[in-house]
Structure 1
Amino acid sequence: MTTDPSRPRFRRPLLMLSAGLLLAWAAHAGWFERQNSAGATHVTLATWNLEWLMSPGTQAELQARCTRQQPASDERALPCTPGRTPPPTRHEQDFQALSRTAQALRDHWAPDVVALQEVDGPEAARLVFTSGWRLDCFSRRAHPQKTGFAIREGLPYQCNPELVALDVDGTSRAGTDITLYPGTSHAIRLLNVHLKSGCFDGKLDRSFAPCQRLRQQVPVVEAWIDHRVKEGVAFAVLGDFNRHLDRDARFDAGEDEAAPLNVFAAWSDDQPKGAILHRATTDQAYVPCDAQDRHSRYIDDILISDRLRQRFGNARFGRQAYAPADAGRQLSDHCPLVWSLQR
């Protein structure tokens, strides 16, 4: 691949903007937020899939015209496939419980950024992240399952073009891309992904449709990783991989980069030199989100580049489980996963 679709699309046009428009765009990008020298000494990253998070009004509107199959990325609709669990219906007490979890995450971990999946844009995210956050850099698909970011207020950042190539079939989710501390020596590039579900284990060369789609997505992420390595940028890929990477990492990806057999080894292959990733969940026991958690292995993860790992010598892994008092609420089938990196 000779071009990188995730490069900032404003690089040349910025020179042509009027001073007023330039200032407005830069403010939106977070460049004029208060500088925080702590970014040079530590960074805390988190990821959280909020399971079809949308406002009650939006859900009522979309449910009225739901489709029997999963809507395409350009469709503003919800699925109502017979025999499959519909998107959850939430009430005010449910949103309050999710908001309490976000506040506990902030109190206990103070994350700089939370990568969000299955959120219907910043307005929906504000139902959970009520204060102290910038909610930005969301994908632009019409489908209510979007990726985006909650960024700690005061932290300088820049939204980069979304990785639309991850939508390999018109129904998959694009990746979203952000730079923390842009233009500084401790800049960090983050790619937020929510990959195809259904192919949690085993080789990707099976005829099973989810594995075929995931196999198409892996080279897209690999191209993004390789470009960052060549640029010499510290980076992380985080989100919902819908894959048991602890098992996957034990197997080779095969010789064909365009058709890999596994996920993690395709990305962490030291080609180009330095393309080595470190997983937050390596050797970590599974921490359930609550008593009803149906998972037994992580599918959410945070992968950091070797350059970023060398910058920070200490790492602390954690999970923000739901409070026992919120048992029975309609929360999410995922909870926040956190990796705090320090010098």
Structure 2
Amino acid sequence: MSYLSSRRALSVMAALASALSLLSACSQTSAAQGDALRLATWNMEWLLTPADRAELGSRCLRQQPRSDEHALPCTPGKAQPPTRTQADFDALAHTAEQLRDTVKADAVALQEVDGAVAARQVFRQGWKLDCFVNRAHPQKVGFAIREGTPYRCNGDLSALDVDGGTRAGADITLFPGTAREVRLLAVHLKSGCFDGKLDRQFAPCQKLRQQVPVLERWVDERVREGKAFAILGDFNRHLDKDSRYPAGPDESQPFNLFNALSDNEPAGALLVRATEGAGSIPCSADDRHKGYIDDILVSEKLAARAAQKQFTRLAFAPEDQGRLLSDHCPVVYSLTGLGR
């Protein structure tokens, strides 16, 4: 063999070795990603397009709009929905990029977003924006799903809108028809009843109390199907304090939220809170909230399959904290080693 032929042969062998090494690395990465489930939830505080914010702001209502009204409130004495600039959207997009590139979230449950067009201002490359609830009100619930992740929209859990002014849930399935299949329900529950028993004569607690049996039925249906599932979103409730109270003897009139859902009736109806035992992580330097109302509740059967479970809250970057962001930042729960 000539010197030139020998050099060519060595080059071909080196290129082949490099390709095999890259293929092996890609295979390992794919296997690792297939072995994990990474979920997040983010309330984005009245996320609208600038055009819609201006138009709706010009004819705002003195009270909170109903579900069938595409309108904004301008209630005297209360803060108005934010008017954001392009720089504000860019700052929010930095957090969405972290969810994509660092967290590698499979899906992000979104609250207070006026549909996919509004969400696209923040969730730009690498996301499918879909399964938003059929609601005229700008505070919609929906999902940002990692591009390439198979999913199916299951329709709205419309029964959560108990009075025509509360919010339906968004129901999707990730990886349908595979061993990785998981059912997700995104929620934004009634605000105002953050702790204490639900049987108080206080309007927000009475509304939330009506929503709990709807959620419990959804959980029980998933358990009977034998499916992995999670409920994620803004519960407007300090779920860590719910353990102080029993669920109550009547499922239609619960005393609390978490224990009513996680009651092992039917057998297997048990949930794991992402925030359980977690210390407070502020969204920004001026965040004074000490507890979590955003959470991710995972079926115990799914959680038990994971070799490792990790919770985090994705604080806003210091350089973005001067912008009009949101009064919430993303909560993340990662389950790894699911294939063990």
TM-score by length of 2: 0.89
Aligned to 2:9: none
Alignment partner for residue 55 of structure 2, among 47, 58, 61? 61
Q: Residues 251-270 of structure 1 correspond to what in structure 2 (within 5 A)?
A: 251-270=245-264
Measured in 1, the distance between the counterparts of 2:176 and 2:192 equals: 36
The residue number in structure 2 matching 1:133 is 127
Taking the aligned partners of 1:95 and 1:203, their CA distance within structure 2 comes to 39
Work out whether residues 54 and 124 of structure 1, in 8 Å CA contact, stay in contact via their aligned partners in 2: yes
Match of 1:158 among 152, 155, 158: 152
| 2:196 match | 202
Runs of 4+ in 1 over 6 A off after TM superposition: none
1:107 Cα deviation after fit: 2.3
Identify the residue that residue 11 of structure 2 maps to in structure 1: none
Deviation readout 1:104-141 (Å, 9 max, x if unpaired): 22222110000000000000000000100000000110
Displacement, 1:40? 4.3
Residue 92 (structure 2) aligns with = 98
Residue aligning to 1:10: none
**Contact (CA 8 Å) 1:249, 1:263: kept in 2 or not?**
no
Give the C-alpha shift of residue 339 in structure 1: 0.6
Of 39, 48, 66, the residue aligned with 2:42 is 48
Q: Supply the distance in 1 between the matched residues of 2:149 and 2:116 (Cα, whole angstroms).
A: 17
The correspondence for 1:146, drawn from 140, 149, 170, is 140
C-alpha displacement of 1:37: 5.7
Q: Comparing both structures, which one devotes a greater share of its residues to helix? A: 2
2:257 corresponds to which letter in structure 1? V
CA deviation string 1:197-247 (max 9, x = no partner): 000010001111000000000000000000000000000000000000011
Q: Does the 8 Å contact 1:318/1:337 carry over to 2?
A: yes
In 1, the alpha carbon distance for the partners of 2:46 and 2:136 equals: 13
The 5-angstrom pairing of residues 202-281 of structure 1 reads 202-281=196-275
Greater radius of gyration (CA): 2
**What is the Cα deviation at residue 311 of structure 1?**
2.2
The residue correspondences of 1:286-297 to structure 2 (distance < 5 A) are: 286-297=280-291
Shift in Å at residue 185 of structure 1?
A: 2.2
Q: 1:330: Cα distance to partner?
A: 0.5
Structure 1: how far apart are the matches of 2:158 and 2:304? 30
Corresponding position: 1:320 with 2:314: yes
1:337 is displaced (CA, Å) by 0.6
* Partner-residue secondary structure (3-state), 1:249: helix
Distance 1:313 1:242 in 2: 30
1:160-180 CA-partner distances (Å, limit 9, x unpaired):
011000000100010000001
> Root-mean-square deviation (CA), in Å?
1.0
Deviations 1:132-161 (A, max 9, x none): 000000011000000000000001000001
Q: For 2:31 and 2:307, locate their aligned partners in 1 and report how far apart those are by CA, in whole Å.
A: 18
**1:335 equivalent in alignment to 2:335:** no
Q: For 2:285, give the aligned amino acid.
A: A
CA distance in 1, matches of 2:306, 2:243: 23
Q: How does 1:73-92 map to 2 (within 5 A)?
A: 73-92=67-86
CA distance in 1, matches of 2:116, 2:266: 36
Aligned equivalents of 1:108 and 1:161: distance in 2?
30
Alpha-carbon distance between aligned partners in 2 of 1:292 and 1:141, rounded to the nearest angstrom: 33
Tell which has more relative contact order, 1 or 2 (C-alpha 8 A, sep 6+).
1
Paired amino acid for 2:310: R
The answer as to whether partners of 1:39 and 1:186 remain within 8 angstroms in 2 is no
Q: Which amino acid letter does the alignment assign opposite residue 238 of structure 2?
A: H
2:173 paired residue number: 179
Q: CA deviation at 1:307?
A: 1.7
Kept after mapping to 2: 8 A contact 1:76/1:144: yes
Task: State the alpha-carbon separation in 2 of the partners of residues 37 and 218 from structure 1.
Answer: 38
Which runs of no fewer than 5 residues in structure 1 stay unpaired?
Answer: 1-35
Normalised by the size of structure 1, how large is the TM-score? 0.88
DSSP-derived class of the 1:109 partner: coil
| Distance in 2 separating the partners of 1:270 and 1:39 | 31
